[in-house]
Chains A and B, each alone.
Chain A
Amino acid sequence: MSGGSLNRITTIARNTFLEALRQKFINVLVILAVALILSANFFRQFDFGSSELKFITDFGMGSILFFGSILSIVATAQLFFSEIENRTALTILAKPVYRWEFIAGKYLGIFALLTVFTMLMIGLLAGMLSWREGALMERYPDDFAEGRLVSYGGLFAYGVLELLRFGIIAAITMFIASFSNTNLYTVIVSFFVFVICQLQYVARDGWNDIGNPLLRGMVWVMALLFPNFQMFNVAELMIFPGEQTLAAASAWGIFGYGIVYIIAFNALAVLAFRGREI
């Protein structure tokens, strides 16, 4: 990649990120996510003891996944189609800019937005957990005889994996946007694909029971085409490393799996966008 390319990609990425920060919908989404994580504070009224930390984590991670997925899909579709519909893409692509540079710049801008969102949420959740854990340690010292239950390093490491999951969703949305004509179509189809990816493990389980080799092959291809998001559901293993922990190799494996899908879907987006008439 030439220095010129890098400069153009970062300029487009920076502009996309700044444009995202100005979108009211995105700001509302972030505020809602923050409010939901902070509302986990009300769990203390149920007096769960040390289990409260797991409730807060589940609730917080659920909120992050819910709002992060919406953000990944809607922000990608919105920021892509605003360029097409307002014809700013026409002005940019009439410059000596390759189409892959445009896609890469847009994607990196969106990924920067998702990074800020995820790290903000994880930071808030870490703050909440730390505060409650401190209070619970004083109240139930027996439960914490072996020290803190929450691994904050694990929490942030899990945040990175969650970010990669959002990165895959954004890359899928970018691919769909690269050939579709409307924002709405892109959002709807992307949500369907997201649900398929979330439930893909069901197909994987069923695959083992299929006798017909043709059908088995088809299911295998589908399972390869849609990333298995179930792989990313390792929050408890990483944040509460008790008897069961996630090996570092497994975490790196999930990381690599995410990166491969991000690159693959962005490459498909570039291929589809190359033939698109602006």
Chain B
Amino acid sequence: MLYIVIAYFYKPILLNWIIGPLFMLITLHIIPTLLRGLRDKVRMRFTG
């Protein structure tokens, strides 16, 4: 659904041909993994 909304308004080749096939991997694995890592780093910093 998110891809359809983005693809409707933003059509360059970068999204359509390159990011498109990797969209699920990026949104459901890479971004959550990076965010989790960032959250853990911040938590470590504040809790010692």
Do A and B truly interact?
no
A interface with B by C-beta (< 8 Å): none
B interface with A by C-beta (< 8 Å): none
